[in-house]
Structure 1
Amino acid sequence: MGRPKIPRTICGKPANSCFKPNGIPMHRLENVPLADDEFEALRLVDLQGMQQQQAAVEMGVSRQTLANLVKAARFKVVDCLVNGKALMMQPDSD
């Protein structure tokens, strides 16, 4: 059994619930879920330009956890862009 997930502070929300390639119906696309904490980590580090340590403090997690979130989120975004998949924003399911 894994450790319980530490509550994270999430301030930003995506503008849309899904991003997908143009001209391809959703039922033909593979969906890749992006968790709200992964979205927030990307927003703080890549959009707002925060250092990882500062972003980790904002989210209330360790720097290593923040780094893991950013790495996972970047992989998912690039997977969708390169392989033509739909990126689905997933709200936290506590």
Structure 2
Amino acid sequence: MWRWRRGVVGRKPKPRIIWFVPPRVVFIPIDESGRPIPTSGSIEIYPDELEALRLVYLEKLTQEEAAKRMGISRGTLWRLLDSGRRKLVQAIIELKSIAIAQVPERSSSVDTTPRQ
């Protein structure tokens, strides 16, 4: 079944392998006394962006190795890293909360089964 993108038939999205699926979590900025700072909104980080950030910055893999592990191209990994970094910086600068999005139960674009 082909997927419609912006009114045009495109190819199916390639599944992304995500090894670490976190629970639904929201990080809220706090002041020095530990009280939450009122926020003007929330930024949502998607699991594939979080996985790309984790592989490159925590596990110190190269972009090529991380892309291979996620089953995507290096260009796609770069776009995920760029999007994730932008969201994190925006949340820090604008004092917004950071929410980790949930993976839909029947998602065809995310594969959570670990593979070697």
Is TM-score (shorter-chain normalized) higher than 0.5? yes
Identity of aligned residues (%): 34
TM-score by length of 2: 0.72
> What are the Cα deviations for residues 37-60 of structure 1, in whole angstroms up to 9, with x where unaligned?
000000000111110000000000
Following the alignment from structure 1 to structure 2, what is the Cα–Cα distance between the partners of residues 15 and 41? 17
The Cα RMSD (Å) is 1.7
Following the alignment from structure 1 to structure 2, what is the Cα–Cα distance between the partners of residues 35 and 16? 11
Out of 11, 31, 37, the residue aligned to residue 24 of structure 1 is 37
The answer for unaligned runs of 5 or more in structure 2 is: 31-35, 108-116
Out of 35, 49, 58, the residue aligned to residue 38 of structure 1 is 49
CA radius of gyration, larger in: 2
State whether structure 2 residue 79 is matched by structure 1 residue 62: no
The answer for unaligned runs of 5 or more in structure 1 is: none
Q: How many residues align?
A: 92
Structure 1 or 2: larger strand share? 2
Following the alignment from structure 1 to structure 2, what is the Cα–Cα distance between the partners of residues 92 and 53? 24
TM-score by length of 1: 0.87
State whether structure 2 residue 89 is matched by structure 1 residue 78: yes
Give the deviation of 1:12 after TM superposition: 1.5
> What are the Cα deviations for residues 5-43 of structure 1, in whole angstroms up to 9, with x where unaligned?
211111123476111201225xx4311110000000000
Contact kept? 2:18, 2:48, Cα under 8 Å: yes
Contact kept? 2:14, 2:72, Cα under 8 Å: yes
Structure 1 or 2: larger helix share? 1
Aligned match of 1:89: 100
The ranges of structure 1 where at least 4 consecutive aligned residues each deviate by more than 2 angstroms after the TM superposition are 1-5, 13-16
